[in-house]
Structure 1
Amino acid sequence: MTNYRVAVIGGTGPQGKGLGYRFAKGGHDVVLGSRAAEKAEAVADEVRARLGEEAGTVTGAANADAVAQCDVVLLAVPYDGHDELVASLPLAGKTVISCVNPLAFDKRGAHGRVVNGGEGSAAESAQELAPEATVVGAFHNVSAVGLWAEDEFLDEDVIVVGDVVEAKQVAMELAASVTGNLGIDGGKLRLARQLEPFTAVLISINRKYKVHAGIRVTGLDAAH
């Protein structure tokens, strides 16, 4: 399996830090990105302190510098401000993995936000804003709490959507660092419209049952 060098944009937030930790634990090299390089470097120190000797490298940098150092870019940022940030990054020629969930919260709980009149998603927006990059959607539904825990692997599946098979394969291989299994090819990029807001369902389940629920796809053999 290929070892990747991954820029994690939003790498100082819970999701980005957790995924960066898991990728590095799986032997990949990680550059955590933040608006402030100093903050990214401090979180990189925190991640390195949890890793064993066989892990990949973890460093911190300002967002644009992190992207410039890597061929693979993970977007793990809040949806608010997403478009402006993506448009500012040098993403041409990169494989971009979006795990951004456009969610809103009210007194009834979490729910999905409508993107582009119901005919869009954060991942599709990223592709439109960075047409010379190849965007896939993945890691939408993994718990930040579970990612940062020191358990061996998360007991769930990562569903990957995208329009380019080779780019989906990158995300599917990275998923093995999180779950111990390759990610599952879930179809075209437009299906991010279903994956992104489904996270609101998991949040509701977690709140109800006091757990950190994930998704498991049945009926597939272990090798997919």
Structure 2
Amino acid sequence: MSEPTSYRIAVIGGTGPQGKGLGYRFARHGHGVVLGSRSAEKAEPVAAEVTERLAGVEGAGEVTGATNADAVAAADVVLLAVPYDGHDELVATLPLAGKTVISCVNPLAFDKRGAHGRVVNGGEGSAAESAQELAPEATVVGAFHNVSAVLLWGEEEFLDEDVLVVGDVVEAKEVAMDLAAAVTGRRGIDAGKLRLARQLEPFTAVLISINRRYKTHAGVRISGL
């Protein structure tokens, strides 16, 4: 069998819970990770925290911190794990040309009735599609939308759920599906074209509702495959 591919991954939003957790999972399984932030001074202590968490893990990848732009420049793969507010302005500043970009951004809002999906581009768009429009020379896929940040930073070696991957370029989806194995222990699932991010992103609001009702950290499992 061939050795699994090792990627150099920039996690933009790497100091937030989702980005830090995904960075930890990727590094735990041998990938190099650069946690990006608006300032290196903010990213470096979080990288040190993740590195400390990886102490004693055989084969773990290196984790460093850098500015967002420097993180992207040093990476093969870029993960967008930033809040939707300010997403477009940030993505437009990043040197993403030629990169495989994985968006796990969820445009959500909250009111007295709980979480719900925000309408993007009149219902004809998503955060992932916006990223693709803003960075036309990159290849954007959507993945990791529905994974709990709490579980990502937890003690379990793998999460008992599936990662759904959407995109228009097969090779880019393959990268995200490979990386899913670092989180769930199995490859991600090809869930269709990039436009289906319009369904995956707001579905996170459903999981938030379930989590609040049942006091858990629900995920998605696909049966029948």
TM bracket (short chain): over 0.9
User: Aligned residue for 1:102?
Assistant: 107
Q: Which residue number corresponds to residue 48 of structure 2?
A: 45
Q: TM-score, normalised by structure 2?
A: 0.97
Map of 2:199 onto structure 1: 194
Tell me how far 1:150 sits from its aligned partner: 1.5
**1:54 to partner: Cα distance:** 1.7
Report how far residue 53 of structure 1 moved: 3.5
> Hey, what does 1:23 align to over in structure 2?
26
Structure 1 CA distance for aligned equivalents of residues 32 and 7 of structure 2: 6
SS in 2 for 1:96: strand
The answer for the alignment partner of 2:220 in structure 1 is 215
CA deviations over 1:160-219 (Å, ceiling 9, x no partner):
000000000000000000000000000000000000000000000000000000000000
Q: CA separation in 1, counterparts of 2:139 and 2:155?
A: 32
1:79 aligns with 2:94: no
How much is the aligned-residue C-alpha RMSD, in angstroms? Answer: 0.4
Give every structure 1 segment of 4 or more consecutive aligned residues whose post-TM-superposition deviation is greater than 4 Å.
none
> For residues 26-175 of structure 1, what are the structure 2 equivalents within 5 Å?
26-51=29-54, 52-175=57-180
SS at match of 1:100: coil
SS at match of 1:49: helix
Give deviations 1:51-99, integer Å, cap 9, x for gaps: 1232001000000000000010000000000000000000000000000
Is there any run of 5+ residues in structure 1 with no aligned partner, and where? Answer: none
* Secondary structure in structure 2 of the residue aligned to 1:64: helix
Distance 1:65 1:41 in 2: 13
Which runs of 5 or more structure 2 residues have no equivalent in the other structure? none
The yes-or-no answer on 1:184 pairing with 2:189 is yes
Aligned amino acid, residue 24 of structure 1: A
SS in 1 for 2:79: strand
Partners of 1:47 and 1:74 in 2: how far apart? 17
d(CA) in 2 for partners of 1:186, 1:170: 14
